[in-house]
């Protein structure tokens, strides 16, 4: 049994039957339950309760979990940290493996899952709200054989700077499209990561032999709160 957690934007939790064995002959995990909360800045208040709710909906206890998968972002610092710390704590307490992957990978997987394989090669651009009037973005291509490749690594830029590359893709998804519809018009109404697709994307990557052991956050830039350059007197002198 697998637990999936993503807090790169909304809070999403999923439970699936299956393993990440890294064996291409293994079937994809069977998603048993998914729960999400799209409110911003409430990650620390809702995540653990959402984990329990999702486990109950799936009819699974924590003791039955054999692995945890977490989205590494990119995303806002506080929200992303809540998801990563919680996933690490759960995996540590249960003594089960912890896996991490880019949340952008999961959103691309979900967008492509709705497109029939018979369509042939197809590209997808993902743009997530990065605040500061910027977007986190990456681009992907699904080949004829169904393999999904990242063709542009995750980065953060102003929407105008990446609009041409992203709108050239066959599909364009993510919360950035809702914020900047003139520059980044969505082709599919898909804004936030679904933790079920996080688990499915992780399964695909593990079967391909990719290393998912890192759970370091993908911040892509420095925190909003800058470190002071010099110490100041409490008296203002």
How far from 232 is each of 139, 225, 226, 235, 236, CA to CA, in Å? Answer: 45, 17, 15, 8, 7
Determine the Cα–Cα distance for residues 175 and 109; give it in Å rounded to an integer. 15
Spell out the domain ranges in the chain. 2-102+193-207, 104-179
Determine the Cα–Cα distance for residues 167 and 89; give it in Å rounded to an integer. 39
227 pLDDT higher than 50: no
**Helices (H), ranges, 103-194:** 103-113, 159-167, 175-179
pLDDT mean over 209-225 = 82
234 pLDDT higher than 50: no
Q: Give, in degrees to the nearest 5, the angle at Cα 100 between 22 and 150.
A: 80
Which neighbouring-strand residues pair with 6?
Answer: 12
% pLDDT > 70, the chain: 88
Cβ–Cβ < 8 Å for 10, 192:
yes
Say which residue the tokens 């949340």 belong to. Answer: 103
Q: Which residue, 149, 146, 129, 127, is CA-closest to 138?
A: 127
| End-to-end Cα, the chain, rounded Å | 60
| 52-100 pLDDT, tens digit each | 999 999 999 999 999 999 999 998 888 899 999 999 999 999 999 999 9
Look at domain 104-179 and name its CATH class: alpha beta
User: What confidence score (pLDDT) does residue 79 get?
Assistant: 87
| 5-58 pLDDT, tens digit each | 999 989 999 999 999 865 445 668 999 999 999 876 666 778 999 999 999 999
Fold of 2-102+193-207: Nucleotidyltransferase; domain 5 (3.30.420)
Confidence of residue 228 (pLDDT cuts 50, 70, 90): very low
For CA atoms 157, 190, 216, 207, the dihedral sign is negative
Strands in 51-134 per DSSP E: 67-71, 98-101, 122-129
Confidence of residue 111 (pLDDT cuts 50, 70, 90): very high
CA 212 to chain centre: 13
């Amino acid at each position: 049994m697998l637990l999936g957690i993503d807090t790169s934007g909304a809070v999403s939790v999923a439970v699936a039957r299956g393993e990440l064995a890294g064996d291409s002959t293994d079937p994809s995990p069977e998603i048993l339950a998914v729960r999400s909360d799209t409110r911003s800045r409430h990650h620390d208040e809702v995540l653990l309760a959402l984990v329990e709710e999702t486990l109950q909906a799936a009819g699974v206890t924590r003791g039955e979990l054999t692995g945890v998968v977490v989205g590494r972002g990119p995303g806002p610092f506080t929200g992303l940290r809540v998801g990563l710390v919680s996933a690490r704590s759960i995996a540590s307490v249960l003594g089960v493996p912890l896996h991490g992957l880019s949340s952008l990978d999961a959103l691309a997987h979900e967008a492509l899952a709705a497109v029939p394989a018979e369509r042939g090669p197809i590209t997808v651009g993902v743009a997530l709200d990065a605040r500061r009037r910027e977007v986190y973005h990456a681009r992907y291509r699904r080949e004829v054989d169904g393999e999904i490749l990242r063709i542009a690594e995750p980065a953060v830029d102003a929407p105008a700077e990446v609009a041409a590359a992203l709108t050239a893709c066959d599909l364009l998804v993510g919360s950035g499209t809702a914020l900047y519809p003139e520059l980044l018009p969505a082709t599919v109404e898909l804004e936030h990561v679904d933790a079920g697709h996080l688990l499915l994307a992780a399964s695909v990557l593990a079967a391909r032999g990719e290393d998912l052991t890192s759970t370091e956050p993908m911040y892509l830039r420095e925190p909003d709160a800058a470190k002071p350059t010099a110490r100041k007197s409490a008296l203002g002198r």
